[in-house]
Structure 1
Amino acid sequence: MHLIKTTDLAVYAGNVELLQSLSLTLDAGERLTILGQTGSGKSLLAQAIMGNLADTLHCEGRLELFGKAQSMSERQGLWGRQLTLLPQEPWNALSPLMSARNQLKETYHLVGGLTESEARSRTEDDLFRLGLQAGAEKRVDQLSGGMAQRVAIACAMAGGAQVLLADEPTKGLDISRRDHVVSQLISQAADGVLLTITHDVAVARQIGGRIMVMKDGVLLEEGLAEDVLSNPQHAYTRELISADPAKWWQPPRKVFAEDSKPLISARQLTVGRGKQALVSGLDFKVHPGEVVGVVGDSGCGKSTLGDTLLGLNPPHAGEVARREGVSGHHWQKLYQDPTAAVSHAVSLRTLLMDLIQLHDLDVTSVPALMARLGLSDALLERSASEVSGGELQRFCLLRILLLKPVFLFADEPTSRLDPVTTREVSQLLVDLAREQGCAVMLVSHDPMLIEKRCDRVIQLTA
């Protein structure tokens, strides 16, 4: 009995084919990784299997789960217990009203069928193992991106489902956390099916099993992961593998004199959320045209630092000095979670035109910027709910670039992007700094990306 079988399964937005017909079978004990470009249809495949495609999308072809075709209501009856999805955005997967501890405990109890005492014990084990004790009583909106991702992973696994669909499970995690999560996913699905969607070649190598490489909704190459990644046959697969940041060219770093006038500076700065201080004693200056990396463990205060520098969050102590005479909309932050940064009620084109009209921006510069970001004009006809996380992140960057910022705090701008797009977008941020004199602070869990793109690095430690 096949646990998953698709026959000519395709996904459409109206008459536009977003995912070309795809046939596959997965049996107990098998692992399949879908590797590919941002917006290539990887997430659509998982949503079609789960039965939770957006209302404006529809699928054609045949799908069987656990040996038979399942109606929508039958599929929903499998959710959590036999079939589970770890979605790309943890903020959309977790209750906004419950603490991390309570929703994990309820999942073990109500979905996994454990007694309350068993659920409580398993919850505490998970919180300790995932390093989440400090965030146990926080809601999802109070957690860092990496912490929220770890909570979502724990909840997805708590029901003990035999079929696990993991959509970008390691984004926003540092390397040690990434390796731990991959090991946990493999262990969880040892007697079932693990279908992982990722743009991370290193994750695909770790998971092993079979692999499918996709681009623009089309399957380009498939086979055993070891064979495909060590001897890729398709040019795009070779390009993905060669786009590793370790292989990027590293230009000369910019160095500024100590007495040069900064755009923004911090002196004896302590930042935190509410009454909790996260990091203290920060002293630094950022100059026009400079790219500064910001690194540190998940939850150490990187995003909070950005909010404090931009005046969105008050400092606990110390001071922030920003250059005077610069309009507010020229100080910008690219948020880690693009789905929470835009309205889902209207099309992306409407969001874009509203911004252009509000600030009287040059509309003629839009096509060239979209081309640099790899965004098609047709994409603008869809809403934020109908595009991938990577496409939405690039759209958010498009809006920021149109504003010609003097300072940009880019919070994990490439965590949802494939290696090729990561290389291009991160270079675009460097170009923005050099060409327009914009100061860029770049947050990333990828140490090699920071090494290749930044003039210097600020290391945050709690």
Structure 2
Amino acid sequence: MLEGHALGVHGEGVSIAPVDFSLARGGRLTLLGETGSGKSLIAQAIMGTLPSGLAASGELTIEGQAYAAAEGATRRALWGRRLALLPQEPWHALDPTMASGAQVAESHRYLRGLGRRRAREAARRDLVGLGLGLADAEGSLPGELSGGMAQRVAFAAASAGGAPLVIADEPTKGLDAPRRDAVVRLLAATPQRGGALLTITHDIEVARRLGGEVILLRRGRVVERGPAERLLSAPRSDYAKRLLEAEPSRWPAPPPPPATCGEPVVEARGLAKWRGGRALFRDLALSLRPGEIVGVVGPSGCGKSTLGDLLLGLTGTDAGEVKRAAGHRLAFQKLYQDPPAAFSPHWSLARLLDDLVRRHRLDRTAIAPLMTRLGLDRELLARRPGEISGGELQRFAILRVLLMEPRFLFADEPTSRLDPITQRDTLALLVELARERHCAVMLVSHDPALIERLCDRRLVLGQGEAVLAPESLDAQAV
């Protein structure tokens, strides 16, 4: 159904070595590898949507029809009907001014030819099947949804046309384990009904569950390839072995947390928030001191991001109060779950950082060493946010917030787009700098193992209540 012959990408400092692959009916192929290795660029080369300045080479065969990879426009007639892309960033795929349910229904109307009423009914089934309550999602704008909820809406809209060839670019980022597994089952339905699936991910567990063939990429080159069962259990390359060892469940046990001292940076008492007549949480009390790392876990849509907005004063409480320590105006900062929503798409990263430094009179000399510690190439500064990988943009978001030397940082899934090795190194750096600078951090993650290895305490949200406990205790979701 889909074949790539010497498919490569080149231009503006990018070089993806030619790769061959083949997907028959019922086939599954996963591109796995580090952030910035070229996984998403291969998907864009297939779709014909490479950023300006980049060009594809080689040939593609799609359902028996040959295409020159460089002539992307020739494949646009296939979009939605024969070839579907489930995008990495929901904000790039969804109309911010249109209700979420209507966007899914629109795909059913114009790609499948359903009438208005049947399209609306099909959209509702799709949303419910993805665990989205109609009261939460159908009439909401994308910006009113959590990152995980918006990801599922984009999934429903992209897959509504029933295309037999599906390319899924990081389809499970930002989702808790049950939601991730539900999306994996939906992805698997395409090859099960005779289609073919190409998945791009840095999540090793997703690659395991999908099975099929895995191609492991690093810096635009194929490092290893083979059946998922063999490669992900007994890899042959040193890089594949390091990647598996970097899964959070394999991280070493953390050292005892340092003693915290000083007055609390942020406190909350009797905190409550409702959405759609449902309590996200209530009677919540917490306190964070300088240098303390508190993890937050819970299912998608349970209010983790909302809690951060309450503590930062970005939204109002329905009950209770929040007390923030006095400090400079940049003392309370947020690392957003979806970096594209936090960067202007029209300017280069160099210009955006320069504007930040000038506006807030920050230390410009701190940029270069932070880029080095975050593994960011200086050549990326010349590009716009949409011209680099999601993982690279996420690390720029971390760099930007650290420049402002916050006293409290709400880090909302700050490494959801990073491969295990980069995630481990980036979070270790974030915790190290927080301890050094006496910055309290509230870290959101859907991975309990990650929270267990990094955080001093854990806050579990779910079903309108919360449990806050030392990390050494086994706090149970309620």
TM-score range, shorter chain: over 0.9
Aligned pair partner of 1:18 in 8, 15, 22: 15
Residue number in structure 2 paired with 1:238:
241
Answer whether contact 2:262 2:290 (CA < 8 A) is retained.
no
Provide Cα deviations, 1:259-293, integer angstroms capped at 9, x if missing partner: 96211000111235698753221111000000001
Instruction: Tell me the equivalent position of 2:127.
Output: 127
Spell out, residue by residue over 1:297-319, the C-alpha distance to the aligned partner (whole angstroms, 9 max, x if none): 11111111111111111222211
Deviations 1:177-220 (A, max 9, x none): 11111011011232111000000111101000000000111111
Distance 1:425 1:435, change over 3 A: same
* Residue number among 240, 249, 252 corresponding to 1:249 in the alignment: 252
Asked if structure 2 preserves the Cα contact closer than 8 Å seen for 1:4 and 1:64, the reply is yes
Q: Is the 8 A contact 1:212 1:222 kept in 2?
A: yes
Q: Aligned to 1:366, what secondary structure does the other structure show?
A: helix
Counterpart of 1:137 (choices 129, 136, 139) is 139
The superposition leaves residues 218-272 of structure 1 with CA deviations (integer Å, 9 ceiling, x where unpaired) of 1111111111112211111111111111111222343768x96211000111235
Query: For the residues of structure 2 that align with 1:359 and 1:114, how far apart are their CA atoms?
Result: 53
Cα distance in 1 for residues equivalent to 2:274 and 2:241:
43
Q: What does residue 401 of structure 1 align with?
A: 402
1:193 and 2:212 are equivalent in the alignment: no
Instruction: Deviation per CA, 1:107-131: give whole Å up to 9, x if none.
Output: 1121122333432332222222222
The worse-fitting range, judged by mean Cα deviation, of 158-167 and 106-115 is 106-115
Structure-2 residue corresponding to 1:155: 157
Amino acid at match of 1:334: L
**Which moves more between the two structures, 448-457 or 242-251?**
242-251
Give the equivalent residue in structure 2 for 1:4.
Answer: 2
CA contact (8 A) 1:269 1:283 kept: yes
Question: Using a 3 Å threshold, how does the CA distance of structure 1 residues 58 and 416 change in structure 2: closer, same or farther?
Answer: same
Aligned positions, number = 457
The answer for the alignment partner of 2:58 in structure 1 is 61
1:16-415 aligned at under 5 Å gives the runs 16-70=13-67, 71-133=71-133, 134-190=136-192, 191-254=194-257, 261-272=263-274, 278-324=280-326, 326-415=327-416
1:448–1:100 Cα change, 3 Å: same
Which amino acid in structure 2 is aligned with residue 76 of structure 1? R
Q: Secondary structure at the match of 1:396?
A: helix
* Contiguous gaps of at least 5 residues in structure 2: 465-478
Residues 347-368 of structure 1 deviation map (CA, whole Å, 9 limit, x = unaligned): 1111122222222322322222
Contact persistence 2:214–2:225 (CA under 8 A) = yes
Question: What letter matches 1:403 in structure 2?
Answer: M
Answer yes or no: is the 8 Å Cα contact 1:294–1:441 preserved in 2.
Answer: yes
**In 2: Cα distance, 1:115 partner to 1:135 partner:** 21
Relative to the length of structure 1, the TM-score reads 0.95
SS at structure 2 position matched to 1:230: coil
Give the stretch that moved more between structures: 278-287 or 40-49: 278-287
1:8 is displaced (CA, Å) by: 2.0
- Which string of whole-angstrom CA distances, capped at 9 and with x for unpartnered residues, describes residues 144-166 of structure 1? 01111111111221100011000
What SS does structure 2 have at the residue aligned with 1:189? helix
Take 1:194 and 1:179, find their aligned partners in 2: how far apart are those partners? 16
Describe the shift of the 1:174–1:110 C-alpha distance in structure 2 as closer, same or farther (beyond 3 A). same
Output the CA distance in 2 between the equivalents of 1:447 and 1:195.
28
Report the identity percentage.
Answer: 51
Q: Secondary structure at the match of 2:49?
A: coil
Alignment of 1:429-440 (within 5 A): 429-440=430-441
Contact 1:205 1:226 in 2 (8 A): yes
Equivalent residue letter for 1:170: T
Distance 2:367 2:73 in 1: 43
8 Å contact 2:45–2:72 — kept in the other structure?
no
Shift of 1:35: 0.2
1:106 offset after TM fit, Å?
1.7
Equivalent pair of 1:265/1:320 in contact (CA under 8 Å): yes
More deviation, 185-194/198-207: 185-194
